[in-house]
Structure 1
Amino acid sequence: MIPSSLSRSFTRPLTSSQNIQPELSESTLRGLIERITEDLRDIEAFLPIKISTRRRERIREFLTAELNSLKQYERDFQRLNQESQVDYLLIKNYMERELRQLDLDCKQDEKASALIPFATILVDLCEARAFVLPINSQEAAQKLFEVQVGIAEVIEKVENESTAQSIEKPVAFRAARTIDALRDHLNEWYLFYKGYDPSFDWWVSSPYGIVEKGLQNISAIVRDRLVGIKAGDDGAIVGQPIGREGLLADLRAEMIPYSPEELISIGEKEFDWCIGELKKASSCMGLKSDWKQALEKVKNEYVEAGKQTQLVKKLFNEAVEFVEKHDLVTVPSVAKNAWQMFMMSPERQRVNPFFLGGDSIIVSYPTDTMDHEAKLMSMRGNNVHFARATVFHEMIPGHHLQMHVNARSKPYRRIFDSPFSVEGWALYWEFLLWDDERFVKTPENRIGMLFWRLHRCARIIFSIKFHLGQMAPQECIDLLVNAVGHEYATAEGEVRRSLSGEYSPLYQIGYMVGAIQIHAMRKEVVGQGIMSEKIFHDTFLKENRMPNEIMRALMLGKKLYPNYRPSWRFYSDAK
């Protein structure tokens, strides 16, 4: 256990930022962001257990102190150059968002606490090890015995039918994941002392083994009885809806001045546009307006097994040659000539059925371990025409180029990661190459490009409706299969990826909405002659990551304020 004296000293007010008089320069704000980034990283590494009350208090105290210190800049905000004003707004927005996330996590964990009443004991044991406090092995064994009793009591409750019906699946799933994390942390604690402290081994080895097994069992039982996931099966998709208020808070942080309902409407309008274009392309293929038949034809145009890597390389070179020939964006030599390709495992393809990209490209394609049906679905889902759009999205001019430049230009801003900027950039290029008649496209190519665009529209609809409680995971899968034309396996993988909790609630809408924002921004900046197209693209990359509204203000030289609020109605501006 943590002694009360240590607890008090650990939560003492921070003083590191007090009495610091700001120098009104860009380097000062950059240094501030870099220090906050590293300090947060150290705090989170020192106290890695996410449900820890001490961790949350420490982070909340740190962020609150830094926000109070940041107020020193408000008085002289207009004396800062615009780059520094942007940095001020970015770090302020970031810290306010982190504080809101702490509150949200606390509320969600409170709901799950009935299934992990023993969590505090385990957290205290592990954090005592972090503080390198002297360990009393007999007391530690007693604490593990108390955990053992707590686990047995929870299992009894879970196996009671009335209790099982009263706990929501997302709450139970969160509890199970927390139990898994606690088991990992307890294992690290045990291995730290085992073999080095003779009394520890004598007292703790037996109760630790019982608790370790108990945590494994209770996680499996909670998943089975309360979530519906059987042992060895990850088939169920659960997710954690955050509700309308949660969506509005995240939208404010991303500086999107639209309601969830307005964004659904945008998704539906863009969806209808895609259907109209799909019908045009299918007519050019001699299939009248039967776009689903055209899509089936396109899906069956895949390369034979073992040839996908060569297709990807060919498509990569095509994309690079096009943007360089037409001087659309700067492509550094290293970015062009030092990329790597890897193959995605069958297990990972369950969550990511298509390509992934960034530093490298990770190719989805069947392996000899997949059954016949799974092989065909993977090949159809990664056909030649889908792949053509995917490669320039993931590599150049998309994510690979973006990450290459971001790592070399104002890299301190990568902490302000936003799907509207990152995923929006890659999809924006799909918009641009669709519009550019110099980029040769057969009707089949158009079907492939439109499939992805339609898919991103559907993501807006199902992800927001899921978080509003209006769609269940199976309904999301059905939408992708029936309305977009996905293979069932790829639809299931996409929904699993969207709702698993590995991505932020707004991540999936960031593709289409972010692309619309950047497209509208280009119309203003390039259309008004403020920048050439190439300079616009280079500037977007070199300024690094931030909400697109702030990027627009930076490019247009708009006046900023310490309490800046989003107001850009980009969808109407894009029309």
Structure 2
Amino acid sequence: MISSTLSHMVLILVLGVTTVPDGLTGERSPSIELAADESQHPGGVIDSTLPKLRGMIELYSADRRNIGRFYDAPMSKMASEKTREYLQHWQEVLDAIDFDALERDQQVDHLLFQNDLRYRLRSLDHQQLKEQQIDPFVPFAEVITRLQEKRRQVEPVDGKKLANIITDLDRAVKEARTTIEKQLKEGGEGEQVFEISVANRASRMVDRLQRTLSGWYRFYAGYDPLFTWWVEKPYKDLEKTLKSYSKFIRNKVMAIDDEGDPPIIGDPVGREELMSMLEHEMIAYSPEQLIEIARQEFDWCRKEMVRAAQDLGYGDDWRKALEHVKELHVEPGKQPDLIRELAHEAVEF
């Protein structure tokens, strides 16, 4: 009994499994008892004490977070597949529900739930496209991703084989850098060979891969003597190579000086993804319509600023009026008096 309890505790800590195995409580496991019940889902059982849609949403939200924590390797195809399967499962569940038979508040939950599922599925496609754009920078990413996935699945490790993998990985990172350097030279001095936004995304991904590899190494180092003996030296070499590669992308590809303030670099999402975001937020306007509305509102603001400037005696020069208003402040030490006056004014209002 003690060994069974310890095994269950290990499953909870490593895999996040929370269903109590048969025999520990004297009762049947909920996953077995409700296997044919409509409330049973891949991630668990819907709380029957909650309204139907709310119980579904709470289970979905908790399981989605758990999937994200477990499949946390960057650029993981397995993570995308598991997430897509889970989202599609819930779409099928919602499609099977009689919408007209629901109460009005549950109909709202149903619509919002469907909206969130559609958005997250589209986001997976957009994420895949973005990752494809940085593939030339990180052709070695899959190796690191697979190492992390095997760690999450608690697969046994062989220190000697892993040392060879890490050594090959270090060589692959250096080859990727050499390839990028060659493309920069072929492009000519002063010519933009790579899009800044893509290079910036690649640099961040290299940093993320390095952090993932660091977590993977710390998980075994010091606990598995053979792992530590074989892997320590090649891992430290690889860590330096990854950090140097990320810095190379920033300094040479993006032409960013680490000594100065880092520039703000945007990452254009494109019209299609922007439309997806607007639909998710239920904003019934296209990007073009929003730009036109913004222009109209900006023109209105400018007219109001000119009108205020005229009232202050500055004609159409609203900038001078603005500077004048900036200088309208009480003397040093009089701020508490101003606060009291404003408080009384608010009460009287």
Q: Given the two structures, how large is their TM-score scaled by the length of structure 2?
A: 0.79
- 2:239 paired with 1:212: yes
Q: Distance in 2 between matches of 1:149 and 1:18?
A: 52
Identify the residue that residue 84 of structure 1 maps to in structure 2: 106
1:68-467 equivalence runs, <5 A: 68-73=92-97, 75=98, 77-160=99-182, 161-162=185-186, 165-300=192-327, 322=346
Match of 2:38 among 9, 13, 20: 20
* C-alpha contact (below 8 Å) 1:24/1:80 kept by paired residues: no
* Shift in CA distance, 319/57, structure 1 to aligned 2, threshold 3 Å: farther
Q: Could you say what secondary structure the match of 2:223 adopts?
A: coil
Contact 1:17/1:69 (<8 A) preserved: no
Secondary structure, aligned partner of 2:96 = helix
Partner in structure 1 of residue 57 of structure 2: 33
User: Corresponding residue for 1:43?
Assistant: 67
1:118–1:150 contact (8 Å) kept in structure 2: yes
Q: Which runs of 4+ in 1 moved over 6 A?
A: 21-26, 302-305, 317-321
Identity %: 35
Paired letter, 1:139: K
**1:289 partner amino acid:** D
Q: Kindly indicate whether the alpha-carbon contact (under 8 Å) linking 1:122 and 1:186 is maintained by their aligned counterparts in 2.
A: yes
Equivalence for 1:64: 88
The one-letter amino acid paired with 2:123 is: Q
**TM superposition shift of 1:157:** 1.9
One-letter identity of the residue aligned with 1:241: P
Deviation string 1:390-413 (CA, Å, 9 cap, x unpaired) is xxxxxxxxxxxxxxxxxxxxxxxx
| Conservation of the 8 A alpha-carbon contact between 2:47 and 2:55 | no
Q: Hey, what's the Cα distance between the residues in 2 that align with 1:23 and 1:44?
A: 22
Q: 1:289 to 1:165 in 2, by over 3 A?
A: closer
Pair 1:104–1:114, CA change in 2 (3 A): same
Q: Distance in 1 between matches of 2:234 and 2:139?
A: 18
Check conservation: 1:137, 1:199, Cα contact below 8 A: yes
The one-letter amino acid paired with 1:60 is R
SS of the residue corresponding to residue 325 of structure 2 reads helix
CA distance in structure 2 between the aligned counterparts of 1:231 and 1:112, rounded to whole angstroms: 22
Q: CA deviation at 1:125?
A: 1.0
Aligned to 1:351: none
**Taking structure 1 as reference, are residues 314 and 179 closer, same or farther at Cα in structure 2, changes over 3 Å only?**
farther
Deviation, structure 1 residue 175: 0.8
1:243 Cα deviation (Å)?
1.4
Structure number, greater radius of gyration: 2
1:13 corresponding residue in structure 2 = none
Q: Distance in 1 between matches of 2:126 and 2:207?
A: 21
Alpha-carbon displacement from aligned partner over 1:298-357 (angstroms, at most 9, x marks no partner):
34457899x9xx88x959x969995xx69xxxxxxxxxxxxxxxxxxxxxxxxxxxxxxx
Change (3 A) 1:320 1:18: farther
Partner SS for 2:135? helix
Measured on the aligned residues, the alpha-carbon RMSD in Å equals 3.1
Residues 247 and 260 of structure 1 are in contact (CA less than 8 Å); yes or no, is this contact kept in structure 2? yes
Q: Aligned in 2, Cα 1:116/1:89: closer, same or farther, shift over 3 Å?
A: same
Paired residue total:
304
**How far off is 1:49 after superposition?**
2.5
Paired AA for residue 173 in structure 2: I
Secondary structure in 1 aligned to 2:134? Answer: helix
More contact order relative to length (CA 8 Å, sep ≥ 6): 1
Asked if the contact 2:74/2:145 (under 8 Å) is kept, the reply is no
Deviation track 1:211-238 (CA, whole Å, cap 9, x = no partner) reads: 1111111101111122222234453232
SS in 2 for 1:166: coil
Query: 1:292–1:71: structure 2 CA closer, same or farther, 3 Å change rule?
Result: same
Distance 2:109 2:160 in 1: 52
Question: 1:363-403, CA deviations, whole angstroms, 9 ceiling, x for partnerless residues?
Answer: xxxxxxxxxxxxxxxxxxxxxxxxxxxxxxxxxxxxxxxxx
Distance in 1 separating the partners of 2:181 and 2:328: 51
Counterpart of 1:178 in 2: which secondary structure?
helix
Gaps of 5+ in 2: 1-33, 40-45
**Secondary structure in 2 matching 1:113:** coil
Mapped to 1, the partners of 2:221 and 2:78 lie a distance apart of: 26
Name the amino acid aligned to 2:38. I
Structure 1, unaligned runs of 5 or more: 1-15, 327-437, 439-575
